């Protein structure tokens, strides 16, 4: 158990270091494949870029998910993605252990990543959502 705690602390420290090293250094983030987005909102524009820099850390590059310190559901061949409203809701609002990453994206980015996931990794759901769909799915501000 002590070894697991040590690895968890080391992993958190590494993530913190990566965030810190990218946060104040926009020049570093200008590279071909930045590790993290260089601001509080995501700058990636295509669904593939957003997935690569935001989602694959948990859901894996192949979309098959992972089990370890947590359970990260597979997006590959996922029947839950058939109704576009489900992944749209999850990206914007979060679910269980997934944070509401859509709050750090504009409507076009949300639509792009949802459409990418629904047409990748063995999924072939071709009905696209739009930026308007993403806007309409956001919680109302009071």
The answer to whether 54 and 36 have CB atoms below 8 angstroms apart is no
Identify each DSSP E strand in the chain by its residue range: 66-67, 71-72
**Model pLDDT, residue 142:** 60
Q: What is the pTM of this model?
A: 0.72
Other C-beta atoms closer than 10 Å to the C-beta of 75 total: 26
Question: Nearest to residue 117, comparing CAs of 71, 38, 60, 68?
Answer: 60
**Model pLDDT, residue 21:** 38
Q: Is 111 exposed, middle or buried (0-12, 13-18, 19+ CB in 10 A)?
A: buried
**Model pLDDT, residue 38:** 58
**Model pLDDT, residue 41:** 82
Q: Rounded distance, CA 39 to CA 77, Å?
A: 32
Q: Rounded distance, CA 43 to CA 45, Å?
A: 6
The answer to whether 36 and 19 have CB atoms below 8 angstroms apart is yes
**Model pLDDT, residue 86:** 97
Average confidence (pLDDT) per 10 residues, the chain, 142 residues: 42 39 40 52 92 95 93 95 97 93 95 98 96 94 64
**Domain 40-137 CATH superfamily:** Cytochrome c-like domain (1.10.760.10)
């Amino acid at each position: 158990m002590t070894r697991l705690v040590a690895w968890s602390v080391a992993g958190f420290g590494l993530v913190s270091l990566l965030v810190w090293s990218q946060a104040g250094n926009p020049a570093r983030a200008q590279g071909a494949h930045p590790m993290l987005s260089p601001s509080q909102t995501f700058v990636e524009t295509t669904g593939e870029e957003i997935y690569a820099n935001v989602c694959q850390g948990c859901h894996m590059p192949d979309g098959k998910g992972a089990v370890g310190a947590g359970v990260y559901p597979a997006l590959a061949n996922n029947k839950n993605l058939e109704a576009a409203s489900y992944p749209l809701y999850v990206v914007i609002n979060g679910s269980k252990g997934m944070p509401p990453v859509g709050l750090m994206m504009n409507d076009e980015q949300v639509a792009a990543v949802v459409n990418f996931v629904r047409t990748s990794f063995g999924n072939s759901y071709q009905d696209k959502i739009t930026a308007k769909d993403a806007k309409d799915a956001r919680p109302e501000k009071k």
